[in-house]
Structure 1
Amino acid sequence: MPDASERLSLPYLMPAQAQKHVTHNEALHRLDLLVQLAVESFDANTPPALPQAGEIHALGGVPTDAWAGHAGELAAWTEGNWQFIEPQEGWQALDKSTGTLRRRNVGGWSDVALPDLTALPGVGVNTSYDSANRLAVSSNATLLNHEGAGHQLKLNKASTGDTVSLLFQTDWSGRAEMGTAGADDFSIKVSADGSVWSTALAFDATTGMASGMALTQTVDDATVGRLIRVGDFGIGADAGPLVTDLDAHQLSGNYSGYGGGHVQAPLGDNPFPTLDGVFGLHCGNSTLGGQNAYLWQIAIGIDTPGLAFRVRANGVWGAWQGLWSGANTTVDANGFIKEASPILRLFSDTSEEPAVPLNATFERLAVGQYALTGVPPLASKGWQVEVPQDANGNRLVYVDCDYDAKLGALHVETSKVIWQDGWAAGQPCDIPKGRWVDLRFDTPTR
C-alpha cells in the first residue's frame, strides 16, 4: 500500500505507526490548503516580505530567494515556512486579485472560459423550451428592469401581413390578444373560448382613429357598456340622430326632427305642429329603484324659434309645455309682453323684426302712410295690432290696415284719435318718435 494519496499526496496512516496524529494532522493541513484553492497571485517570482498564514502563490518560471528552484509550483506560507506543492493538471484556483477562475493545464494556468451564451438554440428557466417557444420561463413573475433611465420591450415582425402580439391564455387557450395582427393597425381582441374572437378596439395606423365592438356601432346604439363615439347621440355632432317616433323615443341624448309639413315628420305628438322646419330634441332620464321612473324631452325650434318640454311618468307622456322667450314673445310699445308669431315693429321712419324674421320691405308713403311688402296677412288668431298709449292709457294714434294678398303688401295708415260715438280716425299723423305700432302676422307657409 502506498504511503500517500495519488492526487493530493495526503499521507496515509500505516499499521503499527507511532505518532499517527502527526500524519493525520499533516493530511488535514494539506487539505486546508488545496480544497477551495484561492491564490493571492499567479506567475509570482518574488516572495512577499510579510506573508500571512495560509497565503498561497502560484509561482512563475524564475522564482527567487526562498522560492528558488520551485518554478511552476504552489508556495503556501504555513507554520512560519514556505511549503511547496506541485499542482496537477485540471486543478482550479481562484485569482483573489481579479476574481477570475483559472485551471491548471500542461505548461501553466489559463482562465476558465464562461459558457458562450450567444446563438443558443433555446433557453428554459425552470422549464423546458421547444422549437416554437425558444425562451420559456416558469415563474410567478418575470422582472425586466431598467438600466439607466428606462426600458423598452421590442416585438418585431418581418412584414405588415405578419403578426406581432401579446397573447393571454387560460389553460393554454387564448382569451385576449393585443398587437398588430395581419396589419399595422393596433388592435385588442377577446375570446370566450379561444375560437371565436371579437375585436374590442382597433386603432388605424395612419389616422389613429378608433373602431371596434367596445364603441357604439350606430348613432343611437344604446348597448350598455359601450363607449360613445363623437357624433353618436348627437354628442359633438352638428345635428343629432333623426327621431322617427317622438312618443316611442326613450333614449338619452341630443336628436333632431322635422315639424309641420315635412314628409319626414316623426310619429307621435309634435312639439311644434305649426312649424314647417327642423327642431332639436334633448332627452334624458332619471332612475328610481333601478327603474326608469321619469323621462323628459326638451325641443328647440330652429327654422322658427321656440322652446318646449314634456315629462313622461308612469309610462305616459304629459302634454308639451311651451316656454316663453324672446323667440315667441314681444314687448309692445307700452311695455307689455305679448305672444308672438312673426312680429313687426312699425316706426315712423323704419321697421324692426324682434322675434321671427319676415324680411319685410318698409316704405313711408306720406304723413301717417306706410307700406310693408313681402309680408303674410295679419294674424288670423289672437291679437293683430297694438298701438302706443299715453300715461292714462289713451291711444296716441288710430291705425287702419289694408292687405293686398296678390302683392303680399300691407298698407298702414295712422291718424289722430277722435271720438264719434266711438274712437275714430282723425287727421293723418306719424307715429310718435320713440314709440311704435306692433303688427302680428300669420306664420308664413313654404
Structure 2
Amino acid sequence: MARQEINLGTAPTGVGGDTTRTTGIKINAMTQELYARDALLGTASNRNVGLLVGNIQDVGSPAPMAGNSAFAEQGSHFISYGDNTTVAPPGGAYWSGIRAQYPFQNCAMDLVAQVVTGGSMNLMFRTVAGNGGGDPWRKIYHDGNTTRGSGGALSAASPIVRIANVADSARLDLKESTFEPAGDWGVANDQAEGVLVERLDVGQYRITGSLGLALEGWRTHDPSSPDGGRMLGITDSEQGADGAVVIKLFKQRWTLTDDGEMVPGRGAPMDVPLNSWIDVRLEMPQPEPQSPINTEE
C-alpha cells in the first residue's frame, strides 16, 4: 500500500505549493514527539554510557585502578580496590568509594580526590596532584571509631562499654549514638555488642562476653565530671583467663608526703557517680566473614 502524507491547513507541495508551512508543521510534530518521549523515558534516554562528563556510568565500571594509571577521566565515578593494587589504603583487603578528578586551570596536572571505605569502621581519604604518588591515606574519625569520655574528650576507640547505673544515671548522653544497654550497670556500642556488665559489690563490676581488655592503646578512662573533666574516682582493672574483666573504682585520697607534696591515691571503694561513667575499651571476637551476595539468578 502506497504511503500518503496529509498536510492539514497547507497548500499542496510541489509547484506553487507552500513548502515552508508544510516543513514547519512537520518539524513541530517531531518536536512534540521528542517531548512526549522524554516525558516517558526521562532525561537518561538522552545520555551516553561512559566515564566522561555528562555520561551515565555503567554498573561495575571502571575496573580497579592499579598503580598510577592515567588520570584521563574528568568528574566523579565509583572505584574499588583489590588485594593486588598498589594504591589501596592499608588495613583491609577490599575497598570501595568515590574518585573525583578536577583539572587545574592553565596546567597539565589534575587534582584527584578519593574517599573510600573498607568496612563500617574504616573510612579513608587522600588527594593526588598530577601523576605523582599522592598524599598518604588519612583516616576519618567518626562516632563509630571514637568515643566521647564522661568528661567530654574524644578518644580513638572501638569497641567500648560504659559502666554506669543505667536506670538512675543523670547523664542524658550515656546512651548516645550506637550505645545500647548491656545489663543494669553498663551500655555498649555496636562494636561491643553481646557484652554484659554486672555489679559484684560496691565499686566492683564484672564485664563478660569479650576477649578481655584491648590489646593495645588505652584500656580504661576514670569517671570524670561533665563540667570540665575533673576526675571523680580512680579505677583498677583485672582480667581473668576466660576474658572476664573486673573493674574496681575507688575514691581519691590525698596523702601529704614528708616533702610536703600532696599525692593522690586510692581510698575507699565507691560506685560510679550518677553524673559520670567508666569507659572500658575491649577486644572482641572477629565477626564471621559474610558470604558474597549473589546477584545472578
TM-score (norm 1): 0.43
Is 1:402 matched with 2:238?
A: yes
Is 1:385 matched with 2:220?
A: yes
Is 1:373 matched with 2:208?
A: yes
1:319 is matched with which residue? 136
Aligned residue identity for 1:429: M
Is 1:331 matched with 2:148?
A: yes
8 A contact 1:417–1:425 mirrored in 2: yes
1:427 is matched with which residue? 268
Q: Distance in 1 between matches of 2:279 and 2:68?
A: 38
Q: Distance in 2 between matches of 1:333 and 1:398?
A: 14
Per-residue deviation at 1:337?
1.9
Structure 1 residues 145 and 329, CA gap change in structure 2 (3 angstroms)? closer
Is 1:253 matched with 2:71?
A: no
8 A contact 1:294–1:314 mirrored in 2: yes
The unaligned stretches of length 5 or more in structure 2 are 5-11, 31-36, 166-183, 258-262, 288-297
Per-residue deviation at 1:256?
4.7
Percent identity between the two aligned chains: 22
2:48 is matched with which residue? 215
Q: How do 1:67-106 residues align onto structure 2 when only pairs under 5 Å count? A: none
2:126 is matched with which residue? 310
Is 1:439 matched with 2:280?
A: yes
- SS of aligned partner of 1:143: helix
Q: Which has the higher contact order (CA 8 A, sep 6+)?
A: 2
8 A contact 2:65–2:80 mirrored in 1: no
2:85 is matched with which residue? 267
Q: Which has the higher helix share?
A: 2
Q: Distance in 2 between matches of 1:368 and 1:242?
A: 57
Per-residue deviation at 1:434?
1.8
Is 1:228 matched with 2:52?
A: no
The unaligned stretches of length 5 or more in structure 1 are 1-118, 128-137, 153-202, 234-240, 258-263
2:171 is matched with which residue? none
TM-score (norm 2): 0.61
Q: Report which of the two structures shows the higher radius of gyration computed on alpha carbons.
A: 1
Q: Distance in 2 between matches of 1:282 and 1:210?
A: 23
Per-residue deviation at 1:313?
1.3
Q: Distance in 2 between matches of 1:225 and 1:355?
A: 40
Give per-residue Cα distances to partners, 1:142-179, cap 9 Å, x unaligned.
71677xxx979xxxxxxxxxxxxxxxxxxxxxxxxxxx
- SS of aligned partner of 1:344: strand
Aligned residue identity for 2:124: A
Structure 1 residues 229 and 392, CA gap change in structure 2 (3 angstroms)? closer
Calculate the aligned-residue CA RMSD, in Å: 4.7
Per-residue deviation at 1:370?
1.6
Q: Distance in 1 between matches of 2:199 and 2:68?
A: 50
Aligned residue identity for 1:339: A
Per-residue deviation at 1:267?
1.7
Q: Distance in 2 between matches of 1:338 and 1:242?
A: 37
8 A contact 1:272–1:301 mirrored in 2: no
8 A contact 2:101–2:112 mirrored in 1: yes
Per-residue deviation at 1:228?
0.2
Instruction: Pick one of 184, 188, 199 that aligns with 1:353.
Output: 188
8 A contact 2:127–2:135 mirrored in 1: yes
Per-residue deviation at 1:311?
0.8
Per-residue deviation at 1:355?
7.2
Instruction: Pick one of 340, 344, 352 that aligns with 2:157.
Output: 340
